[in-house]
Each structure stands twice: as structure tokens, then as C-alpha cells.
Structure 1
Amino acid sequence: MGGAGDGLVSLLGLDFDSTVVRTQRVALDSQARSGPAGHLLGDLLLSSGPPAAVVPFIPGLGVDGHAFVHGLRAALPPSTPTIGGMAADGNRFGQTFTILGNQVYTDQAVAVGLYGPDLRVGTGSASGWTSFGPTRTVTEASGPVLSMLDRKPALRLYCDYLGEKASELPSSGLLYPLALVGQSDSARTGLIRSVMAVDWDAGTLTLAGALEPGSLVRLMHADNQRLIDGARLAAEQVRETSGAGAAVLLISCVGRRNVLGDDIDDEIEAVRAVFPAGTPIAGFYSYGEIGPHGDDSLSELHNQSMTIASFCEIPLEN
């Protein structure tokens, strides 16, 4: 991976001795269908046996990524490493695509299932974003559509924070995501949710994943060095469980690229420096990253993260 670029195709080829590769796809064209679609995709992957790892890619617009991931997770064995992302369209938010074989789709979730006892997968995810401002309570939300914060129209409150940048929504929303924070400790940040769309008439924000009424949120911001440090931390998490000769897949958020600007390659170099020289590295920018979260390493939908996976084979000893 030489660096970030537009209008380019980044390919990562994996050649396994014993690991079996299977692909599946399901229709995914609405928020309401997201959870069932994830579960169905998991069921299809299980038809070839319990996978050693799953790599899903899903449409980036008009879907509930959080519900999809939880549906997929519910169908798979709990210990299955699952890492992937939502397709992106840069700052345009027009249309996204997934690809399987020689077909290009706008409404299909696709996944690669990897099967076999010799596969070793390392995973890591970190952000580098910092929460700020008052803690707000989600008082009305339906799936990923956020209507009210502290019983006030969510879009109006959000625009008050953004000031002049509000006219650039939804793309400017990538610079100020929402952090889910702890009920007892508002400084403790959990998952991050990016703004994907706005409805000016209804006064609502559509996020990349669902928020439950009663959840606590704060705005977030970042600077370049914190994002680069976050990318390095994710790589170090992967290195702890990565085998020799592994290939590495990076999934970074479009919002991180907007913040880093001309320094975008520094994030990639920070990751590259963690792995041995010559490690194959490729990746893409997403509207949502699917990867481990918390001590139990169960996969969740992330936003504004650098999420990384490594793949290699280490034959089991007889």
C-alpha cells in the first residue's frame, strides 16, 4: 500500500494452503431490513460450516449498519472474528457499491467466509477522537434516525454547534460525530456514530447506526496527531495476535481522511511501522467499520475508527 488516493483500485490477494474461501450475498436495501439481512447472511455462511473468520462489505447509505452487524453476529458462533465495512462515496453521499465476482451492486451485502483450523486472524480498532461539550440524552430516536436530544430537535442543536459548517451537512457532520458515553461516567467514550444524512423538514439526523432512547451522547472532535496515534494503537492490537507473514487489511473512516487532509499518509505510515518490513497492506475508506469492541472482542459497527485485520495460516501441530 503506497498511500491514500482517489480513483484507484486497491487489491489484496490472499493465497492459502488449507483455508477454504466461500462468498455469499443478500439483498440489503432498507433500514428495516438491515437486521434480518445480517442474520440471513450469517445463516448462509454457516451452510458451509462454522467459519474461522468473516469479512462483510455492505452498502453505505440507507441502511442501519448497527442492526446489520448485530443480526450477523447473532447467527454466527460468538467467537467468530468479523471485520469489514460499509461502502463509501467520499463526501458526496450519493451512491455506494459492493462487488462480488464480476457483478457490481448497489443493494447487496456481500461477505467472504474463511474456513479451516489453520487460519490466524488478528484484529484491532481504535479512534483517537475526543468528546467535548455537555452530555445530552437521546429522548426520541427510531433506529438510526435521531429526532430529539434533551427534548429539543436534534438537528437544530447540532446546527448550533456547527455554526457556518451546518450549511455543508451531511459532509461536515463527519468532522463532529457523536460519542455514546457511560451512564455513570460521561468521560468514558464507547461507540462513535457519524451523521450520514439530515432531514431539514423533520429536523432529524440519520446516523450510521441506531441509538436507543435514553442513551447519553456527546460531540467529538479530533486533531491529526490523536488520529495517527489511534491508528498506531489499532495496529499494535493486531500485532499481538498476528502470525508471521500475515497480510493486513485497513478500514478507515472517510471522516478521518477529512480531518487529516494532507497528512493522510501519516496514518498509513504509522500502521506500516508497526508491522515487519514488506508486510502486504491494502485498505479502503468507509462510512462505517466493522470490528472488535471492548474486552470481549465482539464485533460492532464503528465510525471514525481505524479498524485492522491480519490474515495468515499457521498449521496446527499434529
Structure 2
Amino acid sequence: MDGARTPVGAPDPGDGSGRPARRWAATLHTVAGYVALTKPRVIELLLITTIPTMFLAARGFPPLGLVVATLVGGAGAAGAANTLNQYLDRDIDQVMDRTRRRPIVTGRISPRAALVFGLVLGALSLAWLWFAVNPASAVFTAAAILIYVVGYTMILKRRTPQNIVWGGAAGCMPVVIGWSAVTGGVSWEAVLLFGVVFFWTPPHYWPLSMKFRRDYAAAGVPMLPVVAADTRVAREMILYTLAMIACSLLLVPVGGMTWVYAVVAAVLGAWFLWLCIGLLRRAKDHQHRPLKAMTVFHGSITYLTLLSVAIAVDVFLPL
């Protein structure tokens, strides 16, 4: 016996004194799971295109409150769509190495809880946009959710190699939503911006599919890189990139952009086209050179980000 005693009033190790800390840690773990369901990095990329579009539509700074309201509603709607996507894809997510750590697959969030969360978040986001922004933006946002959840996830993804092409239209909607938030409608500038993102999507996503083709094949998802040769995929990426560049340059006369944007758009487009051509060359000689598809994937994010910055900056140059 060492004579030591527990001080009066001190918590006994067995009396549950650690439970509040454990409950707090468990709560944070669950909250992090719900955040992960919304795919924050995807939302970030979507919002990158929304802000410059609003600047262009307003030909300057739109009201700050309108920008914040649009971003909040858009982020919530995108998070809802991503959550419902994970709910519907939970069977294939557990097969793929890339997705088997998602919250529903690991059991951090139950399927029922995820479904309720996605539906409630979507409804609140649409209501927010309707009353805080305008009905047109709410309608376009509802269309984006339906395209992604029903069109892409439920219909196209498991049935056709063109799934990401047509399903990717949902990712183009933020520019339409941002434009309509400022103007209440849609114009040719918004259509061209939609075209930029639409044609950008396949050369953005297919390199990722190349890297994880075994995952998609195991899950029975017929992404184009799963069912077609790399050379064909690279050639189609080049075609989509050319269409993307055309839309970005047509914005100069249609949107009244300056020579600064024109030069930046041309240089960025040429650079990204060069990346796709490089992928085609490596695909033809894949036995001797690594494919490096993710170089194109990361390059696509850089392209869209810098093009969006160029649009935002160019708006203020004539002022």
C-alpha cells in the first residue's frame, strides 16, 4: 500500500468523467461525416465559376448581399445533390478503393440519415434561393439537382460511356444560376460560359477515370476509359477541348471582353490543348512512357480557375 488517496471531489476514473469529451469527439466525427457527404472540394470548384459570372452579368460589383445569398444557396444545393449521389451510389462506393472511405460506406452516417439530410438540405437551399435571390435562380438550381441526381446518377452513370458528358451539364449550371441571380434571366454570355464548362467536363473527368479505371470496372460503371482505348479517349478529349476554347473566345465579341481576356483565354486554351495532345502521344506509346493522366486532370482545374479569374478581372479593365 502506497498510502495515496484520491483527493476529495476529484473525479474517479471509473465514474464516467471522460464521457463528455468522448461525446464531443463523437459529435465532431458525425458532423465531419455530414460535411464529407456534401463533397466540399467539388462545391469549391463550382463556386469558382459563379462569382466571375456574376461580375460579368453586373458589369462590375454586384450587391454583396446578393453574391453571398447566391453562394450560400448554391453551395447548399450542390451539397444536397452530392449527398443524394452518395446515397444512391453506396453500393458501388463500397467496391471502389477511391470511395470506400465515404461516410455512408464506413457507417459513420446511416443511409436513412444521409437521405433525409440531402432532401432537407436541398429543399432549404431552393427555398433560400427563391426568396433571398430570385425564382429564376431557384428553378435553374432545381434543374441542376435533377440533372445530377436523376439524370446522371440514376439513369446515365451505369448505362452509357457518355454518362459524364450529358450528366456533367449539372456542373455547368452555376454559371447560369449566377447570371440569372443578377439579371433575372439568361443571355448569350451565360450560354457561352455554360458551353465552356460543358466541353471542359470530359477532358477534366476522363483523366481521373483513367487512373481509377479498375475501380470503375469492378463497380460495373462504363466510364469511357473503361470501355475504350486510351487513344480514343485522348482524341475525344482534344475535340472537347477545341470546342471549349471556341466558346471561351466567342465570349470576346459577344461579351464585350477586352484584349486582355482574349490573350489569357487563348494562352490558357493552347496550354490545356497541349496537355491533351501530350496525353494522346503517351497513350500511343504507353508501353514505354507513363500515361500521367492526372497531369491533365490537375491542369483542367488550373485552366478553369485562371479563366474565371481572367473574366472577373477583365470586367473592371474598361472602367
Q: Which TM-score bucket, shorter chain as reference?
A: under 0.3
Greater fraction strand: 1
More helix by share: 2
What is the TM-score when the length of structure 2 is the normalising length?
A: 0.25
Relative contact order: is structure 1 or structure 2 higher (C-alpha 8 Å, sep ≥ 6)?
A: 1
- Structure showing greater radius of gyration is 2
